[in-house]
Chains A and B, each alone.
Chain A
Amino acid sequence: MGHEVDQLGYMPEDVIRFPSGIPGFEGAREFVVFTKPEHEPFHWMVSVNGPRVQFVLINPLQFRPEYDPVISSSELRDLEVRDPKELLLYTIVTVNADMRLSTANMAGPLFVNIRTRIGKQILVDDPRWTTSERILH
């Protein structure tokens, strides 16, 4: 898929800033999430600034309705949240060569404030949620 982002096009207001970066990719702080009906429930998140980085995302509630990551008040402040309804929740998918074995990182969910376009990867310190939870069963 290479530089699909360049062909898809996006508006400046689509850009999500991750002020504290994504661990492992601190140089990439601006991303766009692409959602296509045929990809649902998966999404692409592609960096649009700095090194090219791309992730597959899924809303974890799509396959784990009981998922309940705790977000601290200082993290809510970082995201400039006024109303919890502003928050979108994603997890990063590690795609396995055998797609059925693909996993989601439930220990590091992404929260995005759709009003302020600020995103943050939250580290969930809860033994129930690991970095590699199977998505399909």
Chain B
Amino acid sequence: MLVLTRRPGEAIHIGDGIVVTILEVDAKSCRIGIQAPPSVAVYREEVYRRIQEENRRAATAAPPSLEAMAGLFRQNDSSAPSDPPITDES
């Protein structure tokens, strides 16, 4: 890993079009500004991981019958206002 020391206001250029600027530093955190082209996705790691995991779960699920699910949705939709709350979801 490349390690560089930077002060607030200083920046790092990565390749063509990515600029990382240190905006503010205190004892426990730093604020970073990132400029990147649209083809480069920039996310906080923990948020990114959550989305990545959920995307994988969603994509690998067995192909469902969408007709059946659509049927359930319509049933649910029309009965929702008068339905008692579901307490046992197993």
Contact = CB atoms under 8 A, between A and B. Distances in A.
Given A20-B38, A23-B43, A123-B48, A136 B67 contact: no
B: contact size bracket:
35 or more
B50 A20 contact: no
Contact of B51 (A55, A63, A131): A131
Contacts of B43: 23, 123
A102 B61 CA distance: 11
Contact of A137 (B38, B39, B76): B76
A12 B52 CA distance: 28
At the interface, is chain B mostly helix, strand, loop or mixed? helix
Contacts of B53: 24, 131
At the interface, is chain A mostly helix, strand, loop or mixed? loop
Given A20-B39, A20-B41, A21-B41, A108 B54 contact: yes
Given A42-B73, A108-B55, A19 B63 contact: no
A11 B40 CA distance: 27
B72 interface: yes
A34 to B, nearest CB: 10
B56 A131 contact: no
5 contacts: A56-B66, A92-B54, A95-B62, A123-B47, A131-B50
Interface of A: 1-2, 19-25, 36, 38-42, 44, 53-56, 62-63, 77-78, 92-97, 99-102, 105, 107-108, 121, 123, 125, 131-132, 135-137
